Structure formats: C-alpha cells, structure tokens
A and B are shown apart, each in its own frame.
Chain A
Amino acid sequence: MSLQIENLKVYYRTLAGDVQALDGVTFNIADGEIMGLAGESGCGKSTLGNSLIYLAGRMKYVEGRVLLDGKELPVWNIREMNHHRFKDLSIIPQYAMSAMNPTRKIGKMTAELLESRGIDSHAVMPEFKRRLDLVGLSNDVLGMYPIELSGGMKQRTVMVISTLLDPSLLIADEITSALDVSTQKAVAEMLVEFRQRGFVKSMIVITHDLSILYQVADTILIMYAGKLAEKAAASTIINSPRHPYTRLLISSLPEVGVTYAGKRLTGIAGTPPALLGPPEGCRFRERCPFAFEKCLEEPPFIEVEPEHFVACWKEV
C-alpha cells in the first residue's frame, strides 16, 4: 500500500480564531514502511494521526488530499470515511487503557463491533484468539471485563483488536508513552512483528520518544509547529540530520554510557510559536542559530538527497 498526503491542512476551531495545528503537510509512505512521526507537544503529530482516522470535535478540514493506494480518502466526510475505518486504516489510540467499554466482556464487545461492521464474527474469532496468543495473552481474556486486566494487557488487547482486519495503514498514537521502559521495548517489537506477519502493511508511529523510533522505524518524520521539518531514514535522522531543529534535538539527547561532569544538559532555548496566528516564514527561525534573512520566507520541503527531505534554506 502506499500513502500520499498532499498539502493537508487541519485547523482547530476556537473562539479566538483557528489554531493552525496542521498547516500544509506533504509526504509519502511506501508499502511496508514504518514511519515514525516525532516532534514536541503541540507540533501537530497527533492532529495528523487523528485527522486521518476521525475528524472529530473541534477539528476542521481546510484543504489537502489523502490518497491510500491511489484511492482518495474523503477525510472531511465522517460518514463516508466509515467504509475505510478499521478495514483499510486503523488506529491504536493514545487512550488505549480506557478504550474498551468497561461494562462489556472483551470477546462480546469485539464480536459486536465486527457484526456491526458487517463482518461475520465467528469467522474472525479463531484468528483473534491466535493473535492474542501471539502477544502473550491467554484466551481467557475474551471472557473478562477490561477492569480485570492490567494496563499492559489492555494495551496489547487494543493493539490486537485494532489490527484484527489487517488494515493497510496503522496509526499508533503515543502507545508507549504511559509504559515503563521494558514494556515499551516489548510493545515496539510487537509492532514490527505485526508488520512481519502481514497483519499491517505500513505504519505511522507517533511519539515524542526518538529512541523508540530508532529501534523500530524505517523512516522518521520530524514535525515542528504544524509543519514538516525533516524526513529521512531513521539512521540518517539520528546520525546525520540536516535540519537545524533535528540537529539540536539529537544533540540534546544525553548519550548512554557517558558521564557528564560539570556540564549542564542543554535543551533548545525558547518555545514553539503559538499556532493561533503563526509567524511568517520558517516557524523555527526564532530559535534557530543559523537563521538569516531568507528565513522570513517559508522554506519548501524538498528532497536534498535520495529519500531525504528537509525544509530549510540552509540545506537547499
């Protein structure tokens, strides 16, 4: 499968105006690619993930196209998108711990969900049980209520349910954020295994944790203040990033096995711009050590090397 996003803009409606959370992003994901989507809080990564699946509440579609396997996805139309949800694209939500109906047994809930989508639940149940086994959950889970499971177990159950119909695209929204480090590793590895076994074709893994992405993702897309900053293979991003923001990000990560004595851990000075009436030009220029006059004009997101996209005048 392949995903093509063209100039997607999704804003949030507020009384004070539109918050330009996702302001014109364009990129592609190839078949079988696990793309990590990283950035700080408020950069628009969750908006991107959620707008693909369900444009809820305050989100407002402004413009842009989404093409899955060459077919246009009507993301602006909640009703029509229903054909595609769960079957063509699916999501493991950020709130996976509380994503299941607390008063319904898990097996029953899944069966009802499948039936409501017009799928014969009996045909799918054996596969469901097999996959639960795969992630280390016993079949007894089907007869339990969510309250009887631990956080990690619920996470895994939701992962299985979300991928039950073998979607082409899976969006994993901050699925490791609430977990401890060893569970994080297990969950990340599970994602890769899902792809290996063909449960999922491609993935967007949304997180702010670059270290996980390094383990799991093929490519990483860095976002900043609603715009794309850089996209490249994971190793390239970590080892030889080109966008100033990415470089500062990577260098602000402490190294394992190195002791710092008498040195302070530096972050990136400043804060991201407000997205209600964002500044002109490159959104990073206020904090960028390399900014010059050209930066008042918005830099295009272009391919500077094969499969390496950067949005920075310095790198053009």
Chain B
Amino acid sequence: MLPWKAIVHIPDGFLSTPVWATMDVAAAPAVAYIVRRAQRGFDDARVPLLGVMGAFVFAAQMINFPVGIGTTSHLVGGALLAYTLGPAAASVVMSAIIAIQALVFQDGGILAMGANLINMALVGVLAGYLPFYLWGGGRWHKWAIFAGGALSLMVSAVLALAELLISGVPMPASVLGVSLALFVVSALLEGAITLAVIQALETIQPGFVRKPETGRSFALGAIGLAAVLLAAVGVLVASTAPDGIEKLGLQVGIASHVRSLVTTPLTGYQAAFFQTGWLRKASGGLAGLALIYGACLLIGRAVARKRSA
C-alpha cells in the first residue's frame, strides 16, 4: 500500500479540540440524514448488499494495479460505489468502512471520526458523484467517471489536509507541495482505476452501473465544478496562511464584520477566550468550508431548476 493513501484517515491526537469537536457535531446529523436517504423506499433487505459491497471495497484494496516502475496503486472506492449503488447508499457504505477501520483496525481515530466521515463518506462521495451526475449521460461519459474518481480522492485529501493545518500541525511549504503532488497522482490513479473497473463491469453486466440522465448543460456543470474547486483551494489557502487572509479581510473590512457577528451575542463572556489563536485560524478555514457547502447547495438548486424548466 502506498504510504500517501493512508493520509486520509486522520488518527486521534492530530486535530485540535475545536476542529474535531466541530466535525463530530457536524457529522452526526449529516450521517443520520444520509442514512435515512439511503433507506428511502427500501426495507432492511438492502443491508446485506451494502454490507457486502463494503466488504468488497476492503477486499478490493488488496488488488494491486501496476502503475509504473515497480509501484502499484489500489482503489479507494467512493466513486465506484456511487456509480453502482447511488450516492446515498455509497455514503452509508463508506461510513461503515470508516467505522470498521477505526474500531477493528485502529486506522483512523474515534474523536476524529467525524472529520474522517465528512471528508471521505460525505463530501468525498458527493464530489465523486457530481461529475457523473452532470456529464455521465452523454459523450463525456468516460471523462465524467474519470473526473469523479479523481475528484472524490482529491477533495477528501484536501479537506483532511486543511483540517490538519487549521489544527496547527506544522507543514512547511516543501512538505505541503510534496503532499499535494502525491494527492494529485493518487487522484488521477483513482480516476483511471475507477474508469477501468466500471468499463469491465459494463462488459460483465450493464445493469450494475447506473444511467444518469442525458442532456445536462456542460457550461453550468463546468461553472459549478469550478466553484467547488475554487472553494476547496480557498480552504487550503486559508488554512495555510490564516494571518494573510486575516490581513486581507481587515483591508476589505470583512473580518471585522465577521468578528462582531460572532462576538456580539457573547460579549458577556471573558474576552480572553476570543483572543486565542484558534478562532483566527478557524474562521478562515470554516469560512472556506461554508463556501463549499454553499456552492454545492447553489449548484444543486440551479441544476434542479434547469431540469424542471
């Protein structure tokens, strides 16, 4: 197993308390929601399928793909699951995988599980499904699958990196650069492997792979995707240079508004609490995350409106 694939499962002890606590609080309702969505219309008979597919992903990680001189890579699987089971069921399966990895294999922390769930099971699967949903039906079918596989890995890794940076884990520019380069390579490999497996599946039994609707606007999708990518990059930049972002924010006058928004309801409390470093750093990162969620929401609304038009 390539070492950088492990980077996406954050162990305990790496994230600062505000980060892991916020992620746990955010993950709980999100996972509950996605579980309810996956159950919609199906009785518990779906459970064995999802369980077995989760076991499949585990086992699939043992199959090595040759990718160069003496190196091999393996499938992570979020996008593949989304294309065969649908995004909600895929999120549930990935959540189960993350839980088993943390509990049985001690791969990934318990307090950090909220963050890992959001990175891989929720946002990662969504990011992987988005290109397929937008372009999977038309001529760009293969590229959509490739892009989805790559994006699911890239977004998961970038989010994990951002969380680590916001928590104050030191990462000099060189290490950051190398990590990002490795993420890009892994993402491209994930895209390639996902595409290859989907193509093989379509040969065995076409019914396995879902058929997304045709005729989605390429331009709308491209803009939406660009927005998500920009927001993701924004989170990363914000977490690496929180002071820089703060300076920029001060110049533009945003930061003072944000701070007054946050502090006014709580002015009765100790002023010392708000002068700690984490709030400054966190506000940059959290603003970025809010951007991503907002972008996804807007994309979803816009696409839905276009469909019904």
Bound pair: A and B? no
Measured CB to CB, the residues of A under 8 A from B are: none
